[in-house]
């Protein structure tokens, strides 16, 4: 049994805490406000939507870091626009392994800050867990959308993680079936991920936060936009990671799978909401910042036209309008 801190209690952090509890670890979950109170009173209750089951775990719930606490590993699961604010507190935690989980367009800078201010020797890694859903405060539970047990793409900023670190992190998940997919270059991975995510974001906003209002023509435009973005990254010498992911936006079996997924998100409102729209509505500040950072990457190759990307993006309202629409939620 190992002692683990999950710093952040959104959908991804809560599901990660659930899996770590299932593996028999001593899990602490850092949460804030009303949600922290609900977790302390009722435990971590998750409704697994596709699996049609509900689980209840009882990790230790805290509202802030306690100076005398030590952990074997820390998973920081925060939106990109908020991760910057917790880097020094993460550095102060006595833990040899810190994993920053989620979208991230500044991984090198974040790693540098953590190592500079660290209270002990640390290995900093980056991860991405494909879990979606939302909190239901009225029922005091979280609704989770996932495929299978779950997995995390994980690795160092660049290069391979050392065998000892890989072994320790793999052991954390025991026999739960949760998989760690080790990537050779997480900086490239995180850039590539936005080539897939941002077009979905653009279309969600263009459809007023409801993908069921999208047309077949718009969904094709979304796929073509991602294809252009992957081509742009390749032209810059950025490796496509996970390897072969760009093939989901071309003709063939992988392309057919992606077309089916997009069709399901558009025709099944619950799935579209849990997978994409709910996050776009609630995390518009994060999406705006990611869009701004990705545009800087695209600007490195201004001679490569991206007509589908631009056409899709012009269909959504401007970020000022989006902030006004969803900021009052």
- 268, two tokens: 């099944």
Give 271's pLDDT tier (boundaries 50, 70, 90).
confident
Give 302's pLDDT tier (boundaries 50, 70, 90).
confident
Q: Are 188 and 219 in contact (CB under 8 A)?
A: no
Mean pLDDT of 176-190: 97
Q: Which of 280, 291, 285, 279 is nearest to 10 (CA)?
A: 279
The answer on pLDDT for 146 being more than 70 is yes
Domain 3-184, CATH 1.10.510.10 — does that match?
A: no
Helix 253-267 to helix 216-235 angle (10° resolution) is 130
The answer on pLDDT for 35 being more than 80 is yes
Give 272's pLDDT tier (boundaries 50, 70, 90).
confident
The answer on pLDDT for 186 being more than 70 is yes
The answer on pLDDT for 328 being more than 70 is no
The answer on pLDDT for 270 being more than 90 is no
Q: Which helix (H) or strand (E) holds 180?
A: strand 179-182
- 190, two tokens: 């995180």
Q: Which of 119, 77, 120 is nearest to 102 (CA)?
A: 77
Give 137's pLDDT tier (boundaries 50, 70, 90).
confident
Residue located via tokens 């936006």: 249
End-to-end CA distance of the chain: 41
Span 152-163, pLDDT tens digits: 999 999 998 999
Q: Could you tell me which residues are beta bridge partners of residue 141?
A: 136
Span 105-118, pLDDT tens digits: 999 999 999 999 99
Mean pLDDT of 318-323: 94
Give 203's pLDDT tier (boundaries 50, 70, 90).
very high
Q: Could you give the percent of the chain with pLDDT greater than 70? A: 99
The answer on pLDDT for 258 being more than 60 is yes
Span 61-92, pLDDT tens digits: 999 988 788 999 999 999 999 999 999 999 99
The answer on pLDDT for 194 being more than 80 is yes
The answer on pLDDT for 239 being more than 70 is yes
The answer on pLDDT for 170 being more than 90 is yes
Contacts of 303 (CB under 8 A, 6+ apart): none
């Amino acid at each position: 049994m190992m002692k683990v801190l999950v710093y952040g209690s959104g959908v991804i952090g809560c599901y990660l805490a659930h899996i770590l509890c299932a593996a028999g670890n001593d899990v602490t979950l850092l949460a804030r406000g009303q949600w922290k109170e609900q977790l302390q009173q009722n435990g971590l209750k998750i409704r697994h939507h596709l699996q049609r089951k509900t689980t209840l775990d009882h990790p230790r719930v805290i509202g802030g870091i306690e100076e005398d606490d030590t952990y074997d590993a820390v998973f920081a699961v925060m939106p990109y626009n908020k991760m910057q604010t917790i880097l020094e507190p993460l550095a102060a935690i006595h833990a040899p392994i810190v994993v920053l989980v989620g979208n991230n367009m500044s991984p090198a800078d974040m790693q540098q800050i953590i190592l500079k201010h660290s209270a002990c020797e640390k290995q900093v890694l980056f991860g991405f867990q494909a879990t979606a859903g939302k909190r239901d405060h009225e029922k005091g539970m979280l609704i989770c959308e996932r495929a299978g047990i779950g997995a995390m793409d994980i690795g160092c900023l660049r290069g391979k993680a050392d065998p000892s670190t890989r072994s320790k992190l793999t052991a954390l998940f025991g026999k739960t079936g949760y998989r760690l997919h080790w990537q050779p270059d997480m900086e490239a991975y995180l850039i590539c991920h936005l080539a897939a995510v941002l077009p979905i974001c653009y279309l969600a906003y263009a459809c007023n936060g409801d993908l069921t209002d999208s047309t077949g023509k718009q969904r094709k435009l979304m796929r073509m936009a991602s294809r252009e973005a992957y081509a742009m990254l390749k032209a810059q010498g950025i490796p496509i990671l996970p390897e072969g992911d760009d093939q989901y936006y071309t003709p063939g079996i992988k392309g057919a799978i992606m077309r089916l997924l997009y069709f399901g998100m558009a025709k099944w409102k619950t799935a579209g909401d849990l997978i994409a729209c709910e996050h776009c509505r609630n995390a518009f500040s994060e999406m705006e910042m990611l869009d701004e950072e990705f545009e800087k990457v695209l600007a490195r190759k201004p001679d490569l036209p991206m007509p589908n990307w631009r056409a899709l993006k012009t269909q959504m309202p401007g970020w000022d309008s989006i902030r006004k629409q969803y900021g009052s939620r």
